[in-house]
Amino acid sequence: MNIGTYTLGARLDSLNYLEAQDALIDIIEKSSDVVLDMTDCHYVSSAGLRVLLLAKKTTAAQGIKLYLVGVNAEVKDVMDVTGFTSFFDIYETMEDCMKAIEATS
In this structure, the chain runs to a length of 105
Residue 1 has pLDDT above 80, yes or no: no
C-alpha 8/C-alpha 24 separation (Å) is 10
pLDDT tier at 95, thresholds 50, 70, 90 = very high
Domain ranges for the chain: 3-104
For residue range 96-105, list pLDDT tens digits in order: 999 999 998 7
Domain 3-104 has CATH 3.30.750.24: yes
Secondary structure of 44-85 in the HEC alphabet? ECHHHHHHHHHHHHHHHHCCCEEEEECCCHHHHHHHHHHCHH
pTM across the whole model: 0.94
For residue range 39-66, list pLDDT tens digits in order: 999 999 999 999 999 999 999 999 999 9
CB 99 within 8 A of CB 69: no
Give the mean pLDDT of 54-83. 96
